[in-house]
Amino acid sequence: MTLLSVNLNKIAVLRNSRGGDEPDICKAAQTCIESGCGGITVHPRPDLRHVRPDDVRALAALLRGRVEYNIEGNPFADARGAYPGLIALAREVRPTQVTLVPDGDGQITSDHGFDLDRDIDRLRPLVGELRELGCRVSLFIDAGTENFESAVAIGVERVEIYTGPYAQAFAEGKADVALAACVHTAQEAQRARLAINAGHDLSQANLGAFKSAIPELAEVSIGHALIGEALYDGLAATVRSYVEILL
């Protein structure tokens, strides 16, 4: 079974738009856990546009010993104000997994993966530190990426395939080429003995086809579509629907 990790960033966006503490991100996490998800994902950013460091800490206390905790972020982003940096947060809360993502302040959302040829030397000491903390390390990569030996050599254990282009192609009714690129990258990563995660714009509409094409899929991280669908059907029911697709 592929693990469903629910990304709670959009819960934080809604809360931050009004101020105060509602909706409560920990209550949302509790609902997701009770509905069968196997993990919770957050993606704190230096500009604090959604999930904040205090959310990361509160969720760590709630999740410990219950489900996996996946923290995403840019390891190269400097500490700023209340944001201590991704590695510093990992040092504090010791999540199950840290997913390294090359996003910048100017991006509304993550929209590309690492260039391994260019970035591997900068990633090496950061991956090493995270592994020493006991965190599994995953790298966000584009479909079409090949040659994962350098990632394995620095201690990376998983890759997360960026599925935005696949989701867009699926919506346009022409997913074959984009899906084939995802499958090829998954196969290349598996040859290097890396486990496969995936995320970005996956939804109930397109997830089944993706899972069928990559049956060895270890984990999907889903936030935007899941929270949007939950506005109509409820959070618990929506999480259960995703879990059913992934069985």
Measured from the Cβ of residue 233, the count of other Cβ atoms closer than 10 Å reads 13
pLDDT tens digits for 27-82? 999 999 999 999 999 999 999 999 999 999 999 999 999 999 999 999 999 999 99
Architecture of domain 3-246: Alpha-Beta Barrel (3.20)
pLDDT band of residue 102 (cuts 50, 70, 90) is very high
Whether residue 43 lies in the annotated active site: yes
Give CA 180 to chain center in angstroms.
Answer: 21
Question: Using an 8 Å Cβ cutoff, are 111 and 163 in contact?
Answer: no
Catalytic: 224? no
107 — pLDDT class (breaks 50, 70, 90):
low
Q: Is residue 119 within 8 Å of 76, Cβ to Cβ?
A: no
Mean pLDDT of 142-161: 97
**Identified catalytic residue from 50, 72, 160, 229:** 72
| Cα distances (angstroms) measured from residue 5 to each of 43, 46, 76, 85, 196 | 12, 22, 24, 22, 14
Task: Tell me which residue has tokens 């934080």.
Answer: 12
For 179-226, write each residue's pLDDT tens digit: 999 999 999 999 999 999 999 999 999 999 999 999 999 999 999 999
Confidence of residue 103 (pLDDT cuts 50, 70, 90): confident
Per the annotation, the verdict on 112 as an active-site residue is no
pLDDT of residue 134: 98
With CA atoms as reference, report the closest residue to 7 among 36, 35, 44, 34.
Answer: 44
Single out the catalytic residue among 50, 157, 160, 200: 200
Evaluate if pTM is beyond 0.85: yes
Which pLDDT does position 108 carry in this prediction? Answer: 64
Q: Compute φ and ψ for 47, nearest 5 degrees.
A: -85, 0
Domain boundaries, the chain: 3-246
